[in-house]
Amino acid sequence: MSVYKRRISAMQALVAGTVIAKDHISLVTIKNEFEEVRKVEKMKPLPRRRLLQLLHSTRALDSFLKGFTDFYAIRGSNHALGEYLNCLGTHTNPHLNKLPNGRAKYYRQKIVDRRNIYMHKAGAFPNDEKEILTLLSEMQTCLAEVASL
Amino acid sequence: MQRSQILEQVNRYLRDNYVVSVEPDLPHLLVGPDLLAGGNGRLAAIFTPKSTELRAPDQLITRFVLSRLALPKHAKCILIVDPERHTEPFISQVGRSFHQTIEVRELPSIRRIVGDSVNENIKPVADRTRQQVYARSNLLFEEASTRLQVQRNRRPAREVLAEADFRLEDHPIENFRWFQREGYRGQDRFEQITQWRSSIFLSAQRTENRRSLGDDLRQFFVFSVQMDYQLDQGVPYLDDNRFYRYTKLFIANALPAYRQDPEKYIRCAAFAGILVIQANSMNEVESLGNTVLERIRGELR
């Protein structure tokens, strides 16, 4: 089995094993987004594939964090990745640990800022293979870290 | 029953009710559970011993400890054993750490076992432990990631390590072990690990080969985890004296890249308490080690 398939299936199992699974619709859509990340793995040209992988990964992460913060009733009124990360670091829910100091900032720099370039700027394609793989991995690491809080 | 057959059967019994990942690739683990099953908010991590782990049970317990720390606290860790291949002393020695140990003949009941409540005799990992582990991991990862990006043309790691003069065999290494060595001839001997200026433990990449890098790191993980944690009924407790007293550095030949996840090696090493570096001399290694130890003491204590 390919390394990437093992990573994607691990993310799907992890999400299904968290509180998000209580919201069946969210669970299915997140699982499908991850499936798309894997399905486009052989698509060409490479920049288009990476852009799609980025899009599906970010939607999976966004939806997971939204569902997670909703479940613990710690989300503010904004729907944004940076906002979810803030809430995870500053909330007061005694049933959930906080995202450690600096981690929200770290993920904002490594994920939100970089992702926004490709999502919002016309003509921006991820050409640097290493940079995009690192960005995708940071998203998966963020999801795994939040799931373990 | 072969390991692959066990995992295939577990997958078959669980996949209609759970999302199953065989040999899951998790961002913080170089070697994790053999199978991960999630569903309805329940999460099960399934382990079954590899042939090398039969001779070196500390390898199995190392991946169990790191998996417990990396997975959500409600994850249930289940060990599957085959009495025809696994001896009774081995099963009783490692089995007590897991939430549940089952034999292969019980596989048809695995769905019920995964759905049962967690064994309350096995306590969850303390929040403080998880927080300290993640905080150190993040610090080591960021340190390694930043430094390795800018370093080029370094000496081969083994040459640098050869300057270190104090072999670990002279140190009471057995103090760090969870298991007595008796009866486990193949147990990791930590031959590649060296101690330097009392507070720094070192290992280095032996060859340019990427597979050897993974093997070298894994052996160091086994040492590092046994050094950091006391294990009591499946719960890893950080040993504060060692946590703040020693640092562990792995000297790599080049920025070690992992397919599809370029920083996986340094992230997994950081999670296991190890800083991956490149260096030209032992003076440089010592300076780096001291800097990191001071940061850990200053920022995490």
CA neighbor of B106 nearest in space, from B122, B86, B83, B89: B83
Complex ipTM more than 0.85, yes or no = yes
User: Both tokens of residue A38?
Assistant: 């894997």
CB A139 within 8 A of CB A89: no
Q: What are phi and psi of B251, to 5 degrees?
A: -90, 120
B212, containing H or E segment: helix B210-228
CB neighbour list of residue B157: distance below 8 Å, 6 or more residues apart: B204, B205, B206, B251, B252, B253, B278, B279
Q: Which residues from chain A sit within 8 angstroms of residue B24, using beta carbons?
A: 6-7, 9-10, 13
| Strand blocks (E) in chain B | 19-22, 35-39, 42-47, 76-81, 100-103, 194-196, 200-204, 229-232, 235-238, 247-251, 274-277
> How far apart are the two ends of chain A, measured CA to CA in Å?
29
- Rounded Cα distance between B226 and B220, Å, is 10
Instruction: Give the count of domains, chain A.
Output: 1
- Rounded Cα distance between A61 and B249, Å, is 33
- pTM (2 d.p.): 0.91
pLDDT higher than threshold 60 for residue A96: yes
Pick left, alpha or beta for residue A133 (phi over 0 → left; psi -120 to 50 → alpha; otherwise beta). Answer: alpha
User: Both tokens of residue B82?
Assistant: 């085959």
Question: Are B26 and A14 inside 8 Å of each other by CB?
Answer: yes
Chain A contact residues (CB < 8 Å to B): 1, 3-4, 6-7, 9-10, 12-19, 21-22, 31, 97, 100, 102-103, 106, 130, 133-134, 137, 140-141, 144-145, 147-148
- Rounded Cα distance between B299 and B140, Å, is 12
CB B226 within 8 A of CB B238: no
- The most confident of A23-27, B56-60, B110-114, by mean pLDDT: B110-114
Mutate to test the interface with A, among B7, B261, B268, B299 (most CBs of A within 10 A): B261
pLDDT higher than threshold 90 for residue B122: no
Q: Which residues from chain A sit within 8 angstroms of residue B72, using beta carbons?
A: 14, 17-18, 147-148
CB A63 within 8 A of CB A26: yes
For residue A95, count CB atoms less than 10 angstroms from its CB and return exposed for 0-12, middle for 13-18, buried for 19 or more.
exposed
In angstroms, the separation between the Cα of residue A122 and the nearest Cα of chain B is: 26
CB A11 within 8 A of CB B26: no
Which tens digits make up the pLDDT trace of A133-147?
888 889 889 999 999
Is B41's Cβ below 8 Å from some Cβ in A? yes
Which residue range(s) make up the domain with A12? Answer: 3-147
Which tens digits make up the pLDDT trace of B179-229?
655 544 445 556 677 777 778 888 888 876 666 778 888 889 998 998 899
Is B267's Cβ below 8 Å from some Cβ in A? yes
Q: How many A/B residue pairs have CB atoms within 8 Å?
A: 119
- For the segment B172-183, the average pLDDT, to the nearest whole number, is 57
Q: Which residues from chain B sit within 8 angstroms of residue A147, using beta carbons?
A: 72
pLDDT for residue B186: 44
- Rounded Cα distance between A139 and A147, Å, is 12
Query: Measured between alpha carbons, how far is residue A70 from residues A93, B55, B264 in Å?
Result: 12, 47, 30
pLDDT for residue A59: 92
B:67-106 residues touching chain A, CB 8 A cutoff:
70-75
